[in-house]
Amino acid sequence: MKHISKKKVKIVATLGPASGSADMIKALAKEGVNVFRINMSHCPKPEVLERVKRIRAVERELGVPLSIMGDLMGPKIRIGDVEPGTELAVGGEICIGAKAVRGTAKEISLNFPTILKSLKAGNEIYIGDGQIKLIVKKTIPGGVLATVAVGGPLLSRKGFSAHGMTLKHMALTKKDREDTATLIEAGADAIAISFVQGPKDVEAIRNLLPKKNPPFLLAKIETQSGVDHADKILDVADGLMVARGDLGLSVPMADVPHIQKRLIALCLKRAKPVVTATQMLDSMASRPIPTRAEVTDVANAILDGTDGVMLSDETATGKFPVEVIRTMVSIIERATSEIGKRYFPEDTSIAGAIGASVVRVAEQIGAKLIVVMTEKGVTARRIARHRHMQPIIALSPHLETLRRLNFSWGVYGYRVPVMKSADDLLLQTKKIAKANDIMSLKEGDLFVVSASIPFGGASGTTNLALAQKV
């Protein structure tokens, strides 16, 4: 397999009307997209299967490992039906109750009323994408009474978010169960789980997955409860997504940049991938160049250490999907040249120590490349979290592993036959080091090899670091 782009931070692009065709998928892949996201909120099963078919066809044509991530809708909180023409005036009061009613300017209800129990006086409430803002005045029997801080037209079944809101008592929805089954049938490489509050939300999806080659599970952190339990969530999830859109409606907006930094740091510590998402180049949905603030935002996420950056409307419905990817690649390439190395002295495991040693040896001897033999990708991710400058060539006989490494910083996967001996390992790694499309070495150049001996052992049992000369 080969790689078209040499950038280290991976790009996740959402498919939609502007990007769902085979030609556009191919164009985006050639520009540098690593992962294609399918938003299950808006994609019925036949369309999911067709998009996956197109992506796999492009993967075969280009010879590039491409990953597919299905994004589950989750327990979306919405207000009920509202009388047409309803307007909320600033300063007015409205009751949000547990009993289902047809909404008016005085009273509305929710599809999941149990969350009202978690609200208290002073909490901010947002309806839609923040177009309407309410402030909880007090709790009342069966709900809360709120004051209108920002008014406007109130429309039926709009989204509902609130600071302090928790969904921890909500069961897995029927739609998420059905969509998970669809993604398994389609052969998706990863599933993003929306509105994760704690480890049980991840385990509920994990229990639906096949035991052999299950999809990667990314927990989307978009509520205060998710932030508070992120460490425990990461015990059972394969990685995190910093879903800044809904997160910014669930916590004070000023907290979002700092939460982003903490979540990225947590994932680096745990050697698990993290994707930063939402409104990264939002203005490019309608114009061919980004704002300076957006460029700064993307660069800062990269400097924080994120493994991947995600595009939503920019590629799904925007007018300039190809230009968006080109812009993102240019920001990534510039920002990664400024990234500082990370150190993790608290990791005293053998695999962790070997990973750190690989990086130190590569730096000390001036190695230009790190070559890793990996079964599940754990070894490559342990090395990559140090954010060193040498690219990592990850060798694996498993295509599933190579696709999942599309979520990891600075890792480029190549499929190789099963290694049968140490001599075979050295022969294959030298061959790859001399001929690859990321950094081909010349006679006399140094590289470092990392692997687990004996081959085919349990994931994460790396015990070998070896300096080699081409």
- The rounded distance, in Å, linking the Cα atoms of 379 and 393 is 11
Cβ partners under 8 Å of residue 287, min gap 6? 319, 320
- Let me know whether 301 and 442 are in one domain: no
- Let me know whether 437 and 368 are in one domain: yes
Q: What pLDDT score does 455 carry?
A: 62
**Chain segment 186-210, per-residue pLDDT in tens:** 999 999 999 999 999 999 999 999 9
* Angle formed at CA 365 by CA 360 and CA 371, multiple of 5 degrees: 70
Q: What is the CATH number of the domain that holds 216?
A: 3.20.20.60
Q: What pLDDT score does 335 carry?
A: 97
Count the domains in the chain.
3
CB-CB contact of 77 with 167 (8 Å) = yes
Q: pLDDT grade, residue 1 (50/70/90)?
A: low
- Let me know whether 97 and 49 are in one domain: no
From the DSSP assignment, how many helices (H) and strands (E) are in the chain?
Answer: 15, 21
| Mean pLDDT within 280-300 | 98
In a domain, 345, yes or no: no
Residue 454, preceding peptide bond in cis (omega within 30° of 0):
yes
- Let me know whether 365 and 312 are in one domain: no
pTM exceeding 0.85:
yes
- Let me know whether 239 and 332 are in one domain: yes
Q: What pLDDT score does 129 carry?
A: 80
Q: What is the CATH number of the domain that holds 364?
A: 3.40.1380.20
- Let me know whether 403 and 361 are in one domain: yes
Domain final position from 305, 336, 367: 336
CB-CB contact of 49 with 71 (8 Å) = no
Tokens of 117: 């129990």
In a domain, 79, yes or no: no
In a domain, 421, yes or no: yes
**Chain segment 106-140, per-residue pLDDT in tens:** 999 998 898 898 899 999 999 988 899 999 999 99
pLDDT at 459 over 60: no
Domain that holds residue 441: 350-469
- Let me know whether 111 and 216 are in one domain: no
- Let me know whether 55 and 98 are in one domain: no
- Let me know whether 188 and 228 are in one domain: yes
**Chain segment 206-242, per-residue pLDDT in tens:** 999 999 999 999 999 999 999 999 999 999 999 999 9
**Chain segment 328-370, per-residue pLDDT in tens:** 999 999 999 999 889 888 787 877 888 899 999 999 999 999 9
What share of the chain in percent tops pLDDT 70?
Answer: 96
- Let me know whether 360 and 381 are in one domain: yes
- Let me know whether 272 and 385 are in one domain: no
CB-CB contact of 39 with 47 (8 Å) = no
- The rounded distance, in Å, linking the Cα atoms of 359 and 341 is 10
- The rounded distance, in Å, linking the Cα atoms of 328 and 222 is 23
- Let me know whether 301 and 393 are in one domain: no
In a domain, 34, yes or no: yes
